[in-house]
Amino acid sequence: MSEHESEKDREDENEDVQKESETDYESWKEGKSKLKNVTIRGIDSEIYDQFSHKIRSLRMNLGEAITKMMNDILVDLNDSLDHLPALRARTTFDKYALDRLSINHYDRLKIGRADLEEANAKITFTHIDRLTFLPDVTQEVFSRYVRSVSHCGTVRMPSIFPKLIAYSKLQFCDRIEIYDVKDEEAGSTNSLVKD
C-alpha cells in the first residue's frame, strides 16, 4: 500500500466519522426539538404538588408521565368522535398502581417486610390493639406499602427510619412506640397470624 493510498484511507475514514457525528447530532437535535418547556396557568398548586410527589414515588419523570397521559387522552378522543370520554389517568398508570387492602380488627399483629412485599398493595391498618412493624421493615418498604395506620391502640415502629415518616402515616392512634432495632428480638416468620 502506498503512502498516498493510506492517506486517502485516513481522509475517507475522517469523512465517515464526521458524517456519523453530524447524523448523531441531527438525530439528537430532532429529538430535542420534540421536547418543549411549557408553562400552564390555572393549575391548583396543592394538586400539582400531590401529583408530582406521587409520580416521583413511582420513580417516573414528571414530563414523561404528563406526556404519556396526554397521548392516552388523545387516543381516547380519536377513538370516540361522538362524545368526550372520561379523562382518566388509569390507562397510563395501571401498571404502576398498587392494589389497596384493609387489615382491621385484630388484637395483636406483627408485620414484616416479606408480609408487605408479598401483599404488593397499599395497605390500611385500622382498629388493631397492638400493631408491630418488625425490624426488617425499611423506610422504603414502609413508604411504598403502608397507606395508613389509624384508630389503633399501640403501634410499635423500628427506629431505623425517621419517626416523621412513620408519623405521616399514623392517625388517631393511642400510643406510638419507637423501639431500638438492636434490642428487638427477631419476629415470627408467619407474622400475619394473631399473637
pLDDT tens digits, the chain, 195 residues: what are they? 555 556 666 666 666 656 665 666 566 556 556 677 778 888 888 888 888 888 888 777 888 888 777 777 766 666 555 555 555 555 555 555 567 889 999 999 999 999 999 998 889 999 999 999 999 998 889 988 999 999 999 999 988 878 788 888 999 999 999 888 876 654 443 333 333
pLDDT at 50: 84
What pTM value is reported for the model? Answer: 0.48
pLDDT at 16: 62
Query: Which residues touch 173 (CB under 8 Å, ≥6 apart)?
Result: 149, 150, 151, 152, 153, 154, 155
Q: How far is CA 103 from CA 29, 32, 195, in A?
A: 52, 48, 15
Cα 127 to chain centroid, rounded: 28
pLDDT at 125: 95
Q: Are 62 and 55 in contact (CB under 8 A)?
A: yes
Element (DSSP H or E) covering residue 6:
helix 3-34
- The C-alpha atoms of residue 23 and residue 26 are separated, in whole angstroms, by 5
pLDDT at 65: 80
Q: Which amino acid is at 62?
A: L
For residue range 153-195, list pLDDT tens digits in order.
999 998 887 878 888 899 999 999 988 887 665 444 333 333 3
Q: Is the dihedral of CA 180, 181, 182, 185 positive or negative?
A: positive
pLDDT at 58: 77
pLDDT at 155: 95
Strand segments, DSSP code E, in the chain are: 99-111, 121-133, 146-150, 154-158, 170-171, 175-179
- The C-alpha atoms of residue 49 and residue 52 are separated, in whole angstroms, by 5
